[in-house]
Structure 1
Amino acid sequence: MNDLNSLFEPIAAESVVDLVANQIENLIVQGILPEGARLPSERELSEKFDVSRPKVRDALKRLEELGLLHVRHGEGTFVAQLSGQAMTPALIDLYARHGMAFYDYLEYRKEQEAFATRLAAERSTPSDKAAIAEIIEELKQAHEAGDLDTSEQADVRLHTAIVNASHNAMLIHMMRSIYDLTQRGVFYNRRYLRTVDGSGDSLLQQHIRIADAVMSGDPGEAEAAARDHLDFVEMSFRIGEERERREAFAKKRKLALETTAASPGQANGRPSK
């Protein structure tokens, strides 16, 4: 928790409550303080802002009244849930029963990620690039070790880090909800992609290509890499679905042949004598 102290800066004496509240608001709107983040204590904030604790308390109370913070007695002050769920549980279940919704999801995600990745290539800071590079190394190590769980987690964190590097507050908040659905396996499980990419090599190389383009500051290549990656995801699922469809028919044919062989006299609808 003490690590969050570095997010706050000393402020001037005039309009102290306003300035404290505004600084916390800015951290929330930029996605730096995400939903559910626990703020430092009043004492810690008072020391970091270099203002009295009553002023900090008033600022926190104002933000709580605005619905931006939530106080849990005995636990602390937390950033409230602001963006809500991207979809209600009922809508998620409905989409799960109607497979074409998955491709709508991919279509939406492709356009948003392509835009975010282009922006990230133009706007990413040294800190953004360091975070992306660290996740890429984690992906490489997990791939070499065959650690699928770590790969899945790092995959989502990489896409999140790239969107964060776009420094577009709207994209950051909207895509966080989308990635939450992905991480919970609402639309697909990453392991299903291995129906095409059995080794996971292609996925790793795609992520490396995206990260390299962002870190080298090449917007055109970054956008193209993001689109190619989502095209691969879509192609993989279409191939996987087709394989499952063929296998289902193959099983039915096998069952029909076995049944016919067991009762040869019933072929062509004629009962045996």
Structure 2
Amino acid sequence: MTASNMTHVYVLSDSVGETAELVARAAISQFDTDHVTTTRVPYVDDRTVVDEVIEKARATSGVIVFTIVLPEIRHYLLDEASQKDVPVYDILTPLLNILETKIDAPPKNETGLLYTLDEDYFKKVEAIEFAVKYDDGRDPRGVLRADVVLVGVSRTSKTPLSQYLAHKRLKVANVPLVPEVDPPEELFSIPADRVIGLKISPEKLNGVRIERLKALGLKEQANYATFQRIEEELTHAQSVMDRIGCKVIDVSERAVEETANLIYQAVQKR
């Protein structure tokens, strides 16, 4: 493929540029071709960068897509591109103009407002880091600090549930229940309504574990996936959950999102 056969899309932004690039890629995806390249140019805040990109676009017969809110840079880009006969697409201005009329107030014209680090953002990051740190029972101290603790046998989606709930700003610890390992005493020292047990049918768990073994390149006959081992683990897990007195959710036929919503609702009611 020669350069002359490629369509070059230059994505400009006075911030990160993710929004503009997503729009460009969404449009490109509507065409059955691999002959389009995108180049993102973030933090455009002076005319020199604009001149450089326009020259590249003109040399490659390219297209410029942009989300620039700084008026002086935006106007300069539009004027220069028009003079150099370079196609441009302004993503934000048409919508800003409509909203300005409807809201009856001018836009702030400040860069990066979408990515402002507010309190909610930090809470989400903290929850995600918490879920990673206290995943798979690595540190039982997390049980005492968590908003909710998930317990269950291996392959009951404890980790993906922890991450999903972290995006809802919940600090989640999870603890695997294995017959050979005593559960941490911390599980029995916190209120039962802060613990959620995850159960699964033997048949479903057998299928999930077999697929896991295949993915790891191991034999399907490994003890990990046998019904005898599964029944032993499930019986042990149920006894621990009964001892805690916690709410138990059957994940056999539920998607992670559905289970996560049930857990989130239980926490909210608490």
TM-score, length-scaled by structure 2: 0.23
TM-score, length-scaled by structure 1: 0.23
More strand by share: 2
Q: Which has the bigger relative contact order, CA under 8 A and spacing at least 6?
A: 1
More helix by share: 1
